Amino acid sequence: MIFEASLEYARSTDKTDPLHQYRSQFYFPSYKDGEAIYFCGNSLGLQPKNVRNAIDQELNDWKNLAVGGYFKAKTPWLFYQQYFRSSLSAIMGCREDEVTVMNALTVNLHFLMLSFYKPANGRYKIMMEAGAFPSDQYAVETQVKFYGYQPEDAIIEIAPREGEHTLRTEDILKAIDENRDSLALVLFGGINYYTGQLYDIAAITKAAHTAGAIAGFDLAHVAGNVPMHLHDWDVDFAAWCSYKYLNGGPGAAGGVYIHERYGNNPQQQRLAGWWGNDERVRFKMEKGFIPQQGAGGWQLSTAQVFNMVSLKASLKWFDAAGIHNLRAKSLDLTAYLEFLLKQLKHFDFEIITPSDPQQRGAQLSLYFKEFGKEIHQKMADNGIIVDYREPGVIRVAPAPLYNSYEDVYQFYKILRELE
Ligand SMILES: *Cc1c(COP(=O)(O)O)cnc(C)c1O
């Protein structure tokens, strides 16, 4: 692929991009008389235009049917989680009954650890990447304390080598092997929120299993960004939020994947609620929890319809576009962004995200040794929405579902003028 740093090139590429049509299905924040350049879909995805109708539908069903909506709404609330399984199984690469939507990400991490982190007989350690998202760090820290361990002892963090920003797969695999006698759980991110590095989930899972440990992943920055093959990779469990690349709106219900070997096992330990009970007998209100088969057996509470409806609307566009087509575009779009960033002469920054496209998703992280915050402010003043994370990183994430080549070009053009 030969890129060109020109508006003509960007526009003609948009013209031939079969996914470009989906851009018009989203609202962009405004800037002056037009639209902002939005590269923050890794933090909060844009609102799909079909969301309002979908919410209205539920409001009307609530208004007109009240409790009858559980069975008689256009999308009966009783079965709400089922409406996500086909779309999410395609995005995550798993069976439909291995995935469900419930609660929120950190909540789900805790519940999944209660099922799958079973410290016993000297096997009690949890391995994660150093610099994981704070909520994941807090979750793991408090889990090990919950069982009476010291975080300094029970949590193994894998850090980049001296002078490097990202992890080497060989170092992760080696650390797993070295801790094979004490490791209970490997709980890694899929993509690190700060560096944008995509980890080798298949290799990490295999190494964890060889070491006798469970392999779980936080896929917050992966979901809707990079297609997964969770079932074939034999991943034990995963969780993600729905408001980043999946555009489910602020606080949308999170997603969960649980491998069928657990989902098919009613004896698998879990903390249960009635929404995870076998649906055929849910309303018999009887004693004795009988889990639904699959990930649904981990559901606890009544489906949070208004925290799920926007996600349902958004998934329509993922179904239409196809996650593999989105990834193909994303690889090219992010490569174009990288190409243009390298044309800048004066800004002093380093792209700390791996240059290998197989080790990253949509996001590039620009590390400014100095003035990162000031430069971020200048970008904001000029209609660019990206985010800044201490120390010194501006994260730029063009989302293939609604960002265009022209967006990437305009971003570059503004930076060139700011330099
Ligand atoms: C966004 C994100 C979260 C946020 O968790 P919530 O419970 O949804 O607030 C947690 N972990 C990671 C890795 C994230 O990227």
Task: Kindly tell me if the per-residue pLDDT of 283 is higher than 80.
Answer: no
Domain annotation for the chain: domains and CATH numbers: 7-49+322-417 (3.90.1150.10), 55-318 (3.40.640.10)
Yes or no: say if 70 and 46 are a contact pair by the CB < 8 Å rule: no
Q: What is the mean pLDDT of residues 354-361?
A: 98
Q: What is the mean pLDDT of residues 301-329?
A: 98
Pure H helices in 179-273: 201-210, 230-233, 260-263
Residue 105 CA: nearest ligand 1 atom is 7
Q: Give the tokens for residue 59.
A: 């409001």
Task: Say how many Å lie between the CA of residue 198 and the centre of ligand 1.
Answer: 16
Q: What is the mean pLDDT of residues 312-330?
A: 98
**Beta-carbon contacts of residue 96 (< 8 Å; ≥ 6 apart):** 85, 86, 89, 294
Please list, residue by residue across 319-348, b when 16 or more beta carbons sit within 10 angstroms of its beta carbon and e when fewer do.
eebebeebbebbbbbbbbbbbbbeeeeeee
Task: Kindly tell me if the per-residue pLDDT of 280 is higher than 90.
Answer: no
- Spatial separation of the C-alpha atoms in residues 321 and 227, rounded to whole Å: 13
Res 118: pLDDT? 95
- 27: β partners: 47
Task: Say how many Å lie between the CA of residue 135 and the centre of ligand 1.
Answer: 6
Ligand 1 binding pocket, CB closer than 6 Å: 104-106, 133, 135-136, 189, 193, 218, 220-221, 241
Residue 106 CA: nearest ligand 1 atom is 7
Among positive and negative, which fits the CA dihedral 162, 167, 173, 176?
Answer: positive
Res 1: pLDDT? 66
Yes or no: say if 207 and 173 are a contact pair by the CB < 8 Å rule: yes
Strands 387-389 and 34-35 turn out to be unpaired
Percent of the chain with pLDDT over 70: 100
Model pLDDT for residues 386-414, shown as the tens digit of each residue: 999 989 999 999 999 999 999 999 999 99
- Out of 43, 101, 129, 136, mutate this one to test ligand 1's pocket (max ligand atoms within 8 Å of CB): namely 136
Strands 47-48 and 125-129 turn out to be unpaired
Would you place residue 379 in the very low, low, confident or very high pLDDT band (cuts 50, 70, 90)? very high
Strands 47-48 and 26-27 turn out to be antiparallel
Task: Say how many Å lie between the CA of residue 40 and the centre of ligand 1.
Answer: 15
- Spatial separation of the C-alpha atoms in residues 314 and 26, rounded to whole Å: 10
Model pLDDT for residues 79-104, shown as the tens digit of each residue: 999 999 999 999 999 999 999 999 99
Task: Say how many Å lie between the CA of residue 115 and the centre of ligand 1.
Answer: 20
Res 276: pLDDT? 96
Model pLDDT for residues 20-74, shown as the tens digit of each residue: 999 999 999 999 999 999 999 999 999 999 999 999 999 999 999 999 999 999 9
Task: Kindly tell me if the per-residue pLDDT of 260 is higher than 80.
Answer: yes
Yes or no: say if 362 and 225 are a contact pair by the CB < 8 Å rule: yes
- Out of 106, 188, 198, 256, mutate this one to test ligand 1's pocket (max ligand atoms within 8 Å of CB): namely 106
Task: Kindly tell me if the per-residue pLDDT of 298 is higher than 90.
Answer: yes
Q: What 8-state DSSP symbol labels residue 22?
A: G
Yes or no: say if 100 and 279 are a contact pair by the CB < 8 Å rule: no
Res 282: pLDDT? 76
Residue 107 CA: nearest ligand 1 atom is 7
Q: Give the tokens for residue 329.
A: 């575009």
Residue 133 CA: nearest ligand 1 atom is 13
Model pLDDT for residues 139-172, shown as the tens digit of each residue: 999 999 999 999 999 999 999 999 999 999 999 9
Residue 136 CA: nearest ligand 1 atom is 11
Percent of the chain with pLDDT over 90: 96
Q: Give the tokens for residue 53.
A: 């109708």
Res 325: pLDDT? 98
- Out of 44, 102, 105, mutate this one to test ligand 1's pocket (max ligand atoms within 8 Å of CB): namely 105
Neighbours of 392 (CB within 10 A): 20
Judged by phi (left if over 0) then psi (alpha if -120 to 50, else beta), residue 371 lies in left
Would you place residue 299 in the very low, low, confident or very high pLDDT band (cuts 50, 70, 90)? very high
Q: What is the mean pLDDT of the chain?
A: 97
Three-point CA angle 371, 372, 377, nearest 5°: 95
Res 281: pLDDT? 80
Task: Kindly tell me if the per-residue pLDDT of 372 is higher than 90.
Answer: yes
Q: What 8-state DSSP symbol labels residue 160?
A: P
Q: Cis bond leading into 391, ω under 30°?
A: yes
